[in-house]
Structure 1
Amino acid sequence: MLTVAVIAAGCALVANGPATAHPAGTIQVRNHKPDVRVPFVSRHAGEAVLDLRAAAPGTDWATRGAESAVVSIFVDGRYAADLVVSGAQPLARQLALGRVAAGVHTLKLHFAADRSPVDRASVRIDRLRVTTYDKRDPEYQVLRFAPIMYGRNVPELGSRFQSATTDVPLLAWHEVTPAATPGHTVLTYSLIWSNEDGGTNTPALMARWGRTTDIEWTYAVELDEHGERVPGSDTYQAANHQTLHYTGAYEGDHPRLETCTSNNNMCDVVDDPMRFFLSTLPTLPAGQPREHLMDTNPWTYRIMAEEMTREGKIEIPSPYAVSTPEVSDQRNYLYAAVSKTTQGVNSGSSWVGVALGVKLTSGDTVHLSHHVDPAWSIQRDVPAATTVELPAGTTLDDIAAVSVHRIVVGTDTAAPVQVTALSRGFLLSESYLPGSSFLNWTGNVTLTPESPSAVVWTR
């Protein structure tokens, strides 16, 4: 079964059974200081996962030239992963370390000055814990085939170490679905980046996707009834969102992929110096939008907003115009999700989308999620996140009603749309963290050309 090795500087403790928090002492990782070496013991061979908290006082993701400090992590001298740390607030992170044998191992923490924008920062790490999953653990296969992701070094987009300052990988997760062959399954891995420097523009990201992070599936593999990779079955999301068969190298059973486009698509040839091996243990609960992973890791919203500020993608004039599509301070938005089903084919140049509307207690204006562009309405029929821009200073108590609207793109296909749920209704706090949610509506409202809108929630 899994082995939990709770570790702290200068000692190694081993425990079996469920993982528990341990108040380990704080480790300081600094430039021009010896690397920190921490021993840990694994009683079984398997795939290892590292939990920790990290902070880097003196760094700020919102400030150009001070974005982060980077710690490179090694296991027994083997390069495992880079950890990009930003801000003085300790954040809980979970990384994969790859396969380890049973026995005593050494975790080395190295301040990577070559890729750290702030090379004089002190990275403070505590609550270190290594958990090893062996073949008897249900999580083992998920970790065994997880991709190792390398950073981006596209010349026209910046330095060799772009992932330390922009579009940094934040979170990863997996999904398990049945394959076409009975008894086989498909493992699909996805990743959240802090933004995308290409692809969908910022206002459309907020309207169509409900955030300015970038979320993409990266790698998928079919497993047979014995849990082994079906040869030739693995694919990855390549440039222009193509699905290609993976032909790159493996590290054990881990494919190696690299972020190689401005909108974070993958290549299966690796030449980037930065390595990200995020834990893929998280999964997406049924009925939740992909942004649920951000909700359960609220610090991702702060990183998202700080990157938008630093890159000049936030509307500056004050007071800003709510009716314009430019993105204002991301604390001015209602973050919500809608579940709906469109009858018939809903693709091509003509389709029907859905937008959310918010009416405040003061005035009759209905603020719409898609602003002025019908193509920014929600087309997909899965739980989908969106945002609605509101006047600065709006609170949840100011929201009087939430409505749903049928939006036509191109020629009206007359397709009815059934809206069955609204959820995740929250604003961001002053510190850019998700506040409490007030939307939890379920029902069945049909939007048609004759009845294109409906109020589904009122105070």
Structure 2
Amino acid sequence: MRALFLLAAAAAASQAQRSFEFSLVRPAEVVAELELSSPGADWAASGREAAVADLFVDGKLNQQVMLFAGEKRYVYPVFLGTLPAGRHTVRLERNARQSARGAGFEAHAAKFRPVAPGDAGYDVLAHAPVLHAREDTISQFSDTPLLVYCERLREGGQEILQYTVIFSNEDGGTSTRALMARWGRTTDIEYVYRCFLGQAGRCARATIQAKDHKEVEFDGQRFGQHPLLTPVTRNNMLAPRPTTALRYHLAPVEIQPGIHSRERVMDLWPVTWTVMAKELQRENKLRPFGQVDGEKISDPRNYLYLDAKLKVADGAFEFLVRLKNDRRWRSSALGRADYAIARDGWIRTTIEMPPGTRIEDIEELGFACRVANPPRGAPQPVAGVCQLEQLGSLFFLTPEGVPGASLAPKATFTIPSGLTETIRVR
């Protein structure tokens, strides 16, 4: 009996930690692609949300990894920083204090990818931010960073690397209903850091998005060239310093700017949709279809998701849908002027539909132009103009809660406020 107990204890210990070795022929930034799972975990269930792993490089604590994908095996790409040539060891072990009680930890495999100066994508990786956990999210499994992406921008001849984070939710700021109407999701997508590239690929200057969405100069600490940042507001605005010990090194993905909505990045990484829905469920932010219950929303699978490229002048778009054999029109703005969309560029919105509605059930789309609400303190415009430059994809989520098959009807027009344009979907 004692022998069986010792064998079980040894097996549990081997699952709770694991080491991987790799070698570098020259100094380089290193990306570790970690295939991990969290047996028993469910982001929707309190007490079983996820395991948190401590990652050590050559015996020194380097970062934490949040296993938000749950029980299934999932590859978590993280950066280790710049390491010298030679042999290295990465050790992963379950952080018992930060992990949910019912969430186990298993490390299945690891691949290591060195990226040296001169290699493609080196600058994007070398300047990626280290994100410390927001203090009030520790052990709460809320507003967790899921993905970091980088866009190469150019302003006045200056090349800029802009880093954006997709957080699992937004505890403060925009309400859940407004997020779905204005942004087409309940994750929080925020640019966090801008590196203005200078000579030799270093940052000539850098800025962060601070409290009240103000862009301020970054003058804080770095890990190599990586800035150390911490969200400090409930809508995930940043401070240029580490304020908590828990830190994430999410390896960035490079995205071409301006060709689709920011939410399209979520579609490319469907796990973000899964975590979003589970967090809504756990935080009791869902209500039955067709009901009004404060700021709660319906099941995300009950919404039509719509992308469009807009240009407005004192105007705001309200998007409408009419189903076959139904005389009623359903609105993205829910009858509220402040939920209409009054910004240029690619946007995403949603319209709540009866459960089980399919793309082929849609008869018509409508586009109403309203006069936009002015900024605080500005006079109310008399009229506005709304231009639809391009209609993007229309889709529902699958029963599994990830983006399904889509349509992209062709439409372009300009209308003044007070008018509505309609198109047939088929």
The answer as to whether partners of 2:229 and 2:238 remain within 8 angstroms in 1 is yes
Return the offset for 1:45: 1.5
Which amino acid is the alignment partner of residue 134 of structure 1? A
The answer as to whether partners of 1:236 and 1:246 remain within 8 angstroms in 2 is yes
- Determine which of 389, 394, 405 is the counterpart of 1:425: 394
CA distance in 1, matches of 2:35, 2:91: 16
Q: How does 1:238-249 map to 2 (within 5 A)?
A: 238-249=210-221
Deviations 1:240-261 (A, max 9, x none): 2121111211111111011111
Hey, what does 2:100 align to over in structure 1? 117
Q: How does 1:78-97 map to 2 (within 5 A)?
A: 78-86=60-68, 87-97=70-80
Q: State whether structure 2 residue 367 is matched by structure 1 residue 391.
A: no
Hey, what does 1:133 align to over in structure 2? 115
Which amino acid is the alignment partner of residue 267 of structure 2? D
Hey, what does 2:38 align to over in structure 1? 56
Q: State whether structure 2 residue 151 is matched by structure 1 residue 175.
A: yes
Return the offset for 1:407: 2.3
Return the offset for 1:355: 2.0
Q: How does 1:164-203 map to 2 (within 5 A)?
A: 165-180=141-156, 182=157, 184-203=158-177
Identity of aligned residues (%): 31
Deviations 1:152-197 (A, max 9, x none): 113xxx6x434xx1111000011112243x4x41111110000011
Deviations 1:312-349 (A, max 9, x none): 11114xx5338997411111001111101124xxxxxx
Hey, what does 2:377 align to over in structure 1? none
Q: State whether structure 2 residue 259 is matched by structure 1 residue 296.
A: no
Shift in alpha-carbon separation, 1:444–1:424, aligned structure 2, 3 A: closer
Return the offset for 1:436: 0.9
CA distance in 1, matches of 2:12, 2:186: 32
CA distance in 2, matches of 1:73, 1:139: 24
Hey, what does 2:5 align to over in structure 1? none
Moved more, 233-242 or 410-419: 410-419
Shift in alpha-carbon separation, 1:331–1:80, aligned structure 2, 3 A: same
Q: How does 1:346-365 map to 2 (within 5 A)?
A: 351-365=314-328
Q: Secondary structure at the match of 1:114?
A: coil
The answer as to whether partners of 2:393 and 2:409 remain within 8 angstroms in 1 is no
| TM-score (structure 1 length as normaliser) | 0.84
Hey, what does 2:409 align to over in structure 1? 441
CA distance in 2, matches of 1:114, 1:258: 21
CA distance in 2, matches of 1:78, 1:51: 19
Return the offset for 1:30: 5.7
Q: State whether structure 2 residue 365 is matched by structure 1 residue 402.
A: yes
**What is the RMSD computed on CA atoms of the aligned residues?**
2.2
For structure 1, the residue ranges without an aligned partner over 5 or more in a row are 1-27, 344-350
Which amino acid is the alignment partner of residue 318 of structure 2? A
CA distance in 2, matches of 1:29, 1:140: 39
Deviations 1:254-275 (A, max 9, x none): 1101111111111112121211
Deviations 1:397-440 (A, max 9, x none): 211122222122344542321102222311111221111112x1
Shift in alpha-carbon separation, 1:392–1:361, aligned structure 2, 3 A: same
Deviations 1:344-385 (A, max 9, x none): xxxxxxx42112211111311111111121111111101011
Return the offset for 1:34: 6.3
Return the offset for 1:227: 1.6
Shift in alpha-carbon separation, 1:224–1:75, aligned structure 2, 3 A: same
Shift in alpha-carbon separation, 1:104–1:194, aligned structure 2, 3 A: same
Q: State whether structure 2 residue 197 is matched by structure 1 residue 223.
A: yes
The answer as to whether partners of 2:129 and 2:193 remain within 8 angstroms in 1 is yes
Q: How does 1:10-25 map to 2 (within 5 A)?
A: none
Q: State whether structure 2 residue 281 is matched by structure 1 residue 305.
A: no
Q: How many residues align?
A: 410
The answer as to whether partners of 2:49 and 2:103 remain within 8 angstroms in 1 is no
CA distance in 2, matches of 1:283, 1:244: 24
